[in-house]
Amino acid sequence: MSLTVTPNFEDADGFYAALLAVHKGLDEAESHALNARLVLILANHVGAKAILAEALDLAAR
């Protein structure tokens, strides 16, 4: 199994709008904390160490 890097959203625009909405009214620290929680929730869903390592490498570029 490898990381999916091609577009794979059912509704990318809808997700982006929801992401912006959930940040509305938060200060910078709260926004960063929300992003950190979201990353950890999604990482838990993925679960596979190799996929997560690949994602970290890709994000660090």
Q: Which of 60, 55, 38 is nearest to 4 (CA)?
A: 55
Residue 20 resides in a domain: yes
Return the pLDDT at 60.
97
- How far apart (Å, rounded) are the C-alpha atoms in residues 40 and 47? 10
Residue 6 resides in a domain: no
Q: Which of 60, 57, 56, 48 is nearest to 2 (CA)?
A: 48
Structure tokens belonging to residue 35: 């992003």
Residue 28 resides in a domain: yes
Return the pLDDT at 1.
72
Domain span at 50 = 12-60
Model's pTM, two decimal places?
0.87
Residue-wise pLDDT for 14-61, tens only, equals: 999 999 999 999 999 999 999 999 999 999 999 999 999 999 999 999
Residue-wise pLDDT for 1-13, tens only, equals: 789 999 999 999 9
Total structural domains in the chain?
1
Residue 19 resides in a domain: yes
Q: What Rg do the C-alpha atoms of the chain give, in angstroms?
A: 13
Residue 18 resides in a domain: yes
DSSP 11: S
